[in-house]
């Protein structure tokens, strides 16, 4: 008897879809994969910064708290000094193992790409499995997987790094798991049904840890399907028992969410303090264009040109061919059609306009039922896809070409149309990785607990913002320094946890350019918070402060004048860092570079001079080969230095604007004897003597340039420059008396 060789067809049936959907996901994400060393997903052309920063921080935070054995659902590491409940925040905890598989937080970009690859691939595979289970041909099942995998929402989520919206694969998993419970129970395999019930509990737990919205989305699928399976049971006893399996699965999932989830913190959350989105402002699918075309405005979610027309085609065919193509014991195509309609209708939002008539939509009821906390009805379009595709599969599978060559041709054309419609090869837009700074790494190595205050100050939630989104995005650096911070985003939080600094708080509002400086009040608040929070560093991000203009000079001048509270610590590219007096490591000396023995020189106008200047100095300027700063913003201009004790000769290279200008120097409040006349049109070197007793101990020496007036170029027709100008300074040199 000849033995036949075992066929490898079943294995290929399982392996080929995995290869297909993984390959498609890789193509979809090829841009961030190929540029992961320099860029992350994002769109610099968007009017607001994408959400990358807080999703990276979320996963860092989970890792940090797990290492310290503490809860992940409460923190003052964001929006300090308040303690914030994160149970409604999009932590996306279920993605943590995938992210952690890439390494520690230094590999966060690799981990995030791994999450995106996994999410895209699983969505295609689970859609394929759902359709195959409910009797779609492999061709339609593969096409359905490609449609969900390349949906507009998945592309949008990749661009925005909203990994909480990459868990749609939980929905078909939950449906198929419930189907296994019902099927095994009907066959009398109670142990297997119980095992599947436990797996459903795990799926519900993981799904909820991905995002709290998924149970809502799942309800529109599993409740009708669960009700259908109960009705199919032959006796009331079986219906009750099957209901117990379902209730047990939910109960175990709730227990898991209590032990290792947000439920204890949800129960203590005061939802009355949340800001909600009005129903009419909730983002929805644009009617009708968004249902029949792939919109390209960069913000709107759309259904595309394939799914809804094919869904309607399947409806027409089903109405003409009334025979049931569904095997006995399975839901009919009309069940899936009916299940698809509610999420489709809800995706339209609060209202639609037809021929100038505004028609209210059912989403308003759901919006009111949930207290306004669910604000993205457009996301229901992905819920619609699953039953719609099952309906299409059941309706159209019998009409596919029977000959293999025609079937392959039809398959190729259909998949090509789906890929063209979804623009599957369209690159995910990128933005540069935020610049790395050595001082943040140094903070991360410090074993101290303190707050980092980023300037300009900002904060936000899903509904409301103080400052600008790019200022909030400085939260990114929290994964590097690992300290508490003020600038940050929490998806759902009491808005007063950040609104307090909009205009009400003198210090934080001024540092966010929303209120004029009140020096005495700001100093008092700074002194209290440096020791009370405590604050370890202030970081001024000059690229976010309008220039040229007086704002940056005002902030730097104020900080440099608070010698007993803060000191300049580092200047790195476009960041100026101040360490506070609280910091255990103390302050570095503010001694100008020693260009020769006993000679200390400040090169005005070049990077780094910010550590010495006070109020009264304009921005740095290039004048040919010379770089300098003009004085004149205030009646006097100040400098702050540390010098070894002794007598000094002070020299400065200066030039007056338009007319000769009288100049005197005061050191530590004491005017020096010399008065010089600074001439216009050319740089001159002017010399003053500073007695040793005026220098004193040489700590926090204040040097004040006192000039007899200013001129505004625009007022004399010399140029359009609106600044008050007195004298320009190229360099200032302190020469120890024994060396002069």
Please report, for the chain, the start and end positions of each structural domain, with discontinuous segments joined by +: 76-86+438-585, 169-266, 589-740
| Residue 734: φ, ψ to 5° | -110, 115
- List CB contacts of 645: < 8 A, sequence separation 6 or more: 692, 695, 696, 697, 698
Q: Which pLDDT score is estimated for 739?
A: 66
Which residue reads 């216009």 in tokens? 680
Which residue reads 């968007």 in tokens? 46
- pLDDT tens digits, residue range 538-547? 999 999 987 6
Separation of alpha carbons 273 and 395, rounded Å: 49
SS3 label, residue 613: strand
Q: Is the CB of residue 690 less than 8 Å from the CB of residue 732?
A: no
- List CB contacts of 116: < 8 A, sequence separation 6 or more: 25, 29, 32, 41, 158, 163, 166
Q: Which pLDDT score is estimated for 730?
A: 96
Say how many CA atoms lie within 13 Å of 716 toward its Cβ. 11
Separation of alpha carbons 567 and 532, rounded Å: 18
Q: What number of other Cβ atoms are within 10 A of residue 196's Cβ?
A: 23
Q: Which two tokens stand for residue 89?
A: 């925040």
Q: Which pLDDT score is estimated for 1?
A: 42
- pLDDT tens digits, residue range 473-494? 999 999 999 999 999 999 999 9
Task: For 326-437, list the strands marked E by DSSP.
Answer: 351-354, 357-360, 430-432
Separation of alpha carbons 294 and 303, rounded Å: 6
- pLDDT tens digits, residue range 40-76? 999 888 878 999 999 999 999 999 999 999 999 999 9
Q: Which pLDDT score is estimated for 471?
A: 97
Say which range, 172-176, 336-340, 356-360, 658-662, has the weakest mean pLDDT. 356-360
Residue predicted with more confidence, 446 or 375? 446
Q: Which pLDDT score is estimated for 637?
A: 94
Segment 514-521 mean pLDDT: 94
| Residue 171: φ, ψ to 5° | -65, -55
Q: Is the CB of residue 152 less than 8 Å from the CB of residue 294?
A: yes
Q: What number of other Cβ atoms are within 10 A of residue 351's Cβ?
A: 16
Find how far residue 164's CA is from the centre of its chain.
12
Which residue reads 């929303």 in tokens? 514
Separation of alpha carbons 151 and 418, rounded Å: 10
Task: For 61-80, give the DSSP string.
Answer: HHHHHHHHT--SSEESSSST
Q: How many residues does the chain have?
A: 740
Cis status, amide bond into 81, omega within 30 of 0: yes
pTM of the model: 0.92
C-alpha gyration radius of the chain: 33
- pLDDT tens digits, residue range 324-371? 566 667 888 999 999 999 999 999 999 999 988 999 999 999 999 988
Find how far residue 170's CA is from the centre of its chain.
24
Q: What is the fold of 589-740?
A: Jelly Rolls (2.60.120)
């Amino acid at each position: 008897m000849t033995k036949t060789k075992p066929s490898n067809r079943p294995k290929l049936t399982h392996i080929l879809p995995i290869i297909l959907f993984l390959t498609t996901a890789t193509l979809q994400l090829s841009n961030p994969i190929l540029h992961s060393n320099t860029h992350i997903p994002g769109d610099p052309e968007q009017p607001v910064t994408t959400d990358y920063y807080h999703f990276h921080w979320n996963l860092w935070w989970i890792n940090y708290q797990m290492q310290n054995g503490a809860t992940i659902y409460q923190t003052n590491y964001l929006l300090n000094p308040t303690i914030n409940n994160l149970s409604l925040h999009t932590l996306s905890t279920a993605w943590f193992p995938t992210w952690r598989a890439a390494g520690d937080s230094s590999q966060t970009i690799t981990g995030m790409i791994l999450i995106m690859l996994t999410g895209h691939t699983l969505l295609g595979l689970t859609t394929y499995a759902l359709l195959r289970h409910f009797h779609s041909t492999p061709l339609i099942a593969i096409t359905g997987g490609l449609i969900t995998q390349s949906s507009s929402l998945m592309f949008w989520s990749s661009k925005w790094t909203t990994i909480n919206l990459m868990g749609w694969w939980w929905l078909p998993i939950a449906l198929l798991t419930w189907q296994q419970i019902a099927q095994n129970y009907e066959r009398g395999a109670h142990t297997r049904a119980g095992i599947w019930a436990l797996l459903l509990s795990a799926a519900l737990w993981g799904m909820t840890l991905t995002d709290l919205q998924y149970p809502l989305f799942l309800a529109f699928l599993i409740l009708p399907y669960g009700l259908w399976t109960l009705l199919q049971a032959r006796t009331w006893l079986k219906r009750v028992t099957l209901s117990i399996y379902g209730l047990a699965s939910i109960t175990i999932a709730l227990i898991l969410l209590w032990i290792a989830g947000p439920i204890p913190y949800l129960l203590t959350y005061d939802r009355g303090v949340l800001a909600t989105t009005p129903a009419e402002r909730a983002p929805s699918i644009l009617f009708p264009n968004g249902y029949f075309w792939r919109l390209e405005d960069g913000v709107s979610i759309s259904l595309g040109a394939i799914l809804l027309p094919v869904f309607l085609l399947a409806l027409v065919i089903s109405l003409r061919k009334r025979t049931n193509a569904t095997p006995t014991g399975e839901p009919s195509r009309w069940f899936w059609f009916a299940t698809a309609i509610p999420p489709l209708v809800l995706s339209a939002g609060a209202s639609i306009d037809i021929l100038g008539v505004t028609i209210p939509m059912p989403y308003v009821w759901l919006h009111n039922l949930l207290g306004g906390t669910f604000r993205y009805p457009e996301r229901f379009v992905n819920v619609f896809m699953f039953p719609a595709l099952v309906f299409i599969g059941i309706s159209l599978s019998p009409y596919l070409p029977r000959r293999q060559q025609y079937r392959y041709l039809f398959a190729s054309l259909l998949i090509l149309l789906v890929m063209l419609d979804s623009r599957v090869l369209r690159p995910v837009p990128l933005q540069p990785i935020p610049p790395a700074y050595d001082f943040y790494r140094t903070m991360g190595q410090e074993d101290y607990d303190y707050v980092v205050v980023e300037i300009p100050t900002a904060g936000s939630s899903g509904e409301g913002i103080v400052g600008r989104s790019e200022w909030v995005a400085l939260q990114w650096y929290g994964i590097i320094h690992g300290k508490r911070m003020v600038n940050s985003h929490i998806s759902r939080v009491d808005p007063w946890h950040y609104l307090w600094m909009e205009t009400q708080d003198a210090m934080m509002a001024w540092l966010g350019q929303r209120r004029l400086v009140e020096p005495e009040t700001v100093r008092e608040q700074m002194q209290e918070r440096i020791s009370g929070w405590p604050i370890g560093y202030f970081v001024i991000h000059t690229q976010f402060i309008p220039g040229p203009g007086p704002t940056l000079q005002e902030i730097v001048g104020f900080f440099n004048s608070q010698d007993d509270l803060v000191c300049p610590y580092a200047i790195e590219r476009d960041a100026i860092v101040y360490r506070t007096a609280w910091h255990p490591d103390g302050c570095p000396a503010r001694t100008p570079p020693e260009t020769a023995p006993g000679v200390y020189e400040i090169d005005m106008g070049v990077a780094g001079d910010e550590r010495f200047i006070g109020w009264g100095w304009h921005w740095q300027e290039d004048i040919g080969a010379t770089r300098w700063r003009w004085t004149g913003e205030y009646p006097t201009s100040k400098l702050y230095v540390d010098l070894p004790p002794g007598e000094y000769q002070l020299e400065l290279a200066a030039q007056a604007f338009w007319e000769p200008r009288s100049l005197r120097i005061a050191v530590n409040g004491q005017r020096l004897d010399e008065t010089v006349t600074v001439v216009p049109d050319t740089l001159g070197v002017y010399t003053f003597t500073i007695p040793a007793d005026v220098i004193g101990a040489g700590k926090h020496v204040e040097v004040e340039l006192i000039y007899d007036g200013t001129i505004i170029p625009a007022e004399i027709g010399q140029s359009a420059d609106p600044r008050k100008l007195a004298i320009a300074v190229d360099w200032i040199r302190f020469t120890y008396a024994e060396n002069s």
